[in-house]
Structure 1
């Protein structure tokens, strides 16, 4: 069995869940756009008139990044367990250095190593945020021998755009920063005290970017350890 085939022997439920979450984001944008169009036509929306269409765009933006973060956590843990179970597969340095307590080792005497390690890694990695490029690459190094620079170089190549590696990373950084403004600062511009503008097209572009980025990362991981 090759190093890449150990991750492709069964339907990818994690990816299916990710794309379902991305579709949910797109539906929020469609709902917001419908409200925006109805309001512009001066239709009687009843209680819906209290809903701000831009709030749906902001919610979709946050959800898209959450979908990416959630998928990456699941993907890293699942691939790490697969590598542990496949002896011929070389262990990435960061996975080789993964330490567990004696309590965890003792737990393995009564339960399967897979279950114990899945729980342990899921809990530990939950402290990490996989939203900005450097943190994403750090997480991926549990399951690949590639250095951070190589990871992003290959991701940029898979994306197939004319953007440089730095531009790809900056785009993801900007999207993550805007997500944090929305989630933690109500998207309010400090100088003006008003919310930053946001449109359906901007949000749709962001959702598309996140989906394409995840697909590129998945491709790079499947190419080799």
Structure 2
């Protein structure tokens, strides 16, 4: 049964289980639950920043809470992509189906592992999964191409193209993303994360002043990261965006109110 995903306007839930109960079944995995928990931490940092901002404490840059939340949210998505892909790879490898994703079917194994399989010391599926875990353990997912390449181990779908359809469906086509523009949206979110993490968020050419960041901007970024992750989860699952059980559509009749896109919606 598909259940509507969380509304962007809702406050963060205090418990991870209450969030996952609102999600489509395709995203109800331990890996996605962990992602939501990490987003909750990010939203709480934004809330803490707003509280401190109202108190105006001396010597505390409350915008650092918003910067930390932004970095946390991007990190949560990258970690989820890796863990969810590995979960799916494990399932596909065990099935050993001829319909498994092409990149997984063609994944190279070192000779010593092939010899171990031939000697019966390890199953082929286990050897493949172990090798992939080693290869991706420290792989940085610093751009949409890296995410697509990772997910190609678990699906032959063009994940960003399908995710764009799901984002538009999510907002009742009040947005008009295609693959290129959704990738661009994520690159924008990544670029600010990198400015925070690698450049101390300093203004170009200035070693003292930093780029301003508001609670609203950080909150919108977190919302967008959640929307993108949920759309990628649907693409990974292979559910067509034209399905009647789409995000925002109730499982049992009626019409769900279409959520408003976050302020940074763009196209």
Alpha-carbon distance in 1 for matches of 2:163, 2:148: 11
1:176 aligns with 2:176: no
1:1-225 aligned within 5 A: 12-39=29-56, 49-88=58-97, 90-106=99-115, 109-111=120-122, 116-147=127-158, 151-160=159-168, 161=171, 162-165=175-178, 166-193=180-207, 194-223=209-238
TM-score (norm 2): 0.70
SS for the counterpart of 1:59 is helix
Alpha-carbon distance in 2 for matches of 1:199, 1:104: 52
TM-score (norm 1): 0.82
Q: Is the 8 A contact 2:165 2:177 kept in 1?
A: no
Alpha-carbon distance in 1 for matches of 2:126, 2:92: 14
Q: Is the 8 A contact 2:92 2:154 kept in 1?
A: yes
The verdict on how the C-alpha distance between 1:169 and 1:66 changes in structure 2, with shifts beyond 3 A counting, is same
Alpha-carbon distance in 1 for matches of 2:60, 2:48: 11
How far is 1:34 from its partner?
Answer: 0.7
List alignment gaps of at least 5 residues for structure 1. 1-7, 40-44
The verdict on how the C-alpha distance between 1:196 and 1:217 changes in structure 2, with shifts beyond 3 A counting, is same
Aligned length: 207
- The root-mean-square deviation of aligned C-alpha atoms, in Å, is 2.4
Greater share of residues in helix: 1
List alignment gaps of at least 5 residues for structure 2. 1-24, 241-267
